[in-house]
Amino acid sequence: MRVRFAPAPTGFLHVGGTRTALFNWLFARHHGATFVLRIEDTDRDRSREEWVDGIQATLRWLGLDWDEGPYRQGDRIPQYLDAADRLIASGDAYESWLTEAELDAEREAAKAHGGVPRFYERSTAVGRGDAGDERTRSLWFRTPTTGTAEFDDVVRGRVTVPWDTIADFMIVRSSGQPVFYLANAVDDAEMNITHVIRGEDLLDSTHRVLALRAALGHPGAPTYAHLPLLVGHDRAKLSKRHGAVAVEDFRDAGYLPEALVNYLSLLGFPAPAAGSEVRPLAEIIADFDLARVNHSAAFFDHDKLDWMNGEYLRALPVPELVERAGDWCRAAAARGDGATAAVDPSSPEFAALLAVAQKRLVTLAEVPAFLAHHFCDESSFAIADESWDVLAATERVDEVLDTVIAHLETCEWTVEAISLQPVIVALGLKPRAVMGALYAAVEGRHSGLPLFDAIHALGRERTLGRLRAARARLG
């Protein structure tokens, strides 16, 4: 069996396309099939080489490795044009020298009659036009006018459409470049693709591709499976205007590829009957079955992705978390992220603080904020305004600071010995009531990393310096 993922390099790989790639990949890995990557760059004007590279880089980042390709349709133009010639010869297609305005006029006329445009008659009548006309040649497939177009879809069942509702369609542009339908039909046949797994937005095009394939004389047809679309808040097909949908943006935003893959595997496919939705790839592969794919569109829920990413982050062994967070920080710094540049991923404190930050992380992008109080110059250390307000509003805060300072001046420097509850309780106060003030004084914000670990990593002098500064500011 052979499947293919066939993106057009007209933009970054977005989550919708990624889900399609993932389901093809899952199918291939489940059945031991061959996964082919094919770049559909027949539209020269919109295709860009950087996207061809970007798509591959993103697939690699996700771990969706392909077995063949990437094939480039741009390299196979002669095959498509040859196919077009055969269609002209057999009478299944015709050439047209109609201008775009004339084509539009035909469309208008057809619409007025409640029908669908056919350009053959008019094309024949006009021919190449008069000498001096600025006409160009395009090739069109002549669709049947009677009967029904039908095929069996693994997820939708039998799909039937009357041929008289399907207009003639272009197969070669006036620029001489073949159109998607033709290239798609030729490639799926010549590459021996057995299963076409793609988005539902391509459902209606299947009839045209199948008609081309039949007219070209390719026996049989692949099994089709049209996946439910991924939609945004407005339930419309997911696109750029729905915010961050470029997968490379998710990488930069600190998401783990395995979390994104796991999350995507849940959209349009039943969650495991028993056990967690968070599960190893091997299990997702083993469980995959085209016949169980859902029918209705799925909303891409960032909240659930966040939760999933947190689950994966928490499950990471600390050394691996340190390594991956370090990689992320270096990449962010390289992108020019100033807040991250100060963080030193190779320092022992980075690892120590990350270990206590782990349960609090939703994405790797939050690492710098949690660690900022540690990796800053004392001269640039500042307490956030709202956190200072919390500190200032704390009951007997001056007394608390004095006591804590005294304790930290002499205590043994271990996380256990630093523990501040005893001294607070000794003052007759509840730790809950004053802890916020201490977080603010030491970490610059009233909520953050566990205080005693933060203090331990910070060291005695820096900690005392901050506490004394806060005490002094109180007056």
Partner RNA sequence: GCCCCCAUCGUCCAGCGGCCUAGGACACCGCCCUUUCAAGGCGGCGACGGGGGUUCGAAUCCCCUUGGGGGUGCCA
Helix or strand (DSSP H, E) at 95: strand 93-96
Nearest approach, Cβ of residue 28 and RNA (Å): 20
Give 176's contacts (C-beta < 8 A, 6+ positions apart): 81
Say how many C-beta atoms besides its own lie within 10 A of residue 385's C-beta.
8
* Residue (35 or 269) nearer to RNA, CB: 269
Instruction: Give bridge partners of residue 72 from the DSSP assignment.
Output: 39
Least Å from the CB of residue 206 to RNA: 9
Dmax (CA) of the chain: 103
CA 315 to CA 301: how far, in whole Å?
A: 22
Nearer to RNA, 105 or 331 (CB): 105
Write the CA distances from 183 to 6, 80, 122, 147, 212, integer angstroms. Answer: 11, 6, 26, 25, 10
Q: How far is the CB of 20 from RNA (least distance, A)?
A: 10
Q: Which is nearer to RNA, 217 or 302 (CB)?
A: 302
> Cβ of residue 456: shortest distance to RNA, in angstroms?
9
Alpha-carbon span 347 to 206, nearest angstrom = 57
Beta-bridge partners for 39: 72
CB-based contacts of 412, cutoff 8 Å, min separation 6 = none
Smallest gap from residue 252 Cβ to RNA (A):
22
Name the 3-class secondary structure at 419. coil
Nearest to RNA of 64, 313 (CB atom): 313
Our CB check for RNA shows the closer of 195 and 373 to be 373
Which of 240, 304, 359, 430 is catalytic? The answer is 240
Q: Which is nearer to RNA, 217 or 422 (CB)?
A: 422
For helices 49-62 and 257-264, what crossing angle results, to 10°? Answer: 90
How far, in Å, CA of 108 to CA of 454, rounded? 72
Q: Does residue 240 carry a catalytic annotation?
A: yes
Least separation in angstroms between residue 100's CB and RNA is 5
How far, in whole angstroms, is CA 431 from its chain's centroid?
A: 44
Q: Report d(CA 454, CA 254) in Å as an integer.
A: 23
Active site residues: 240
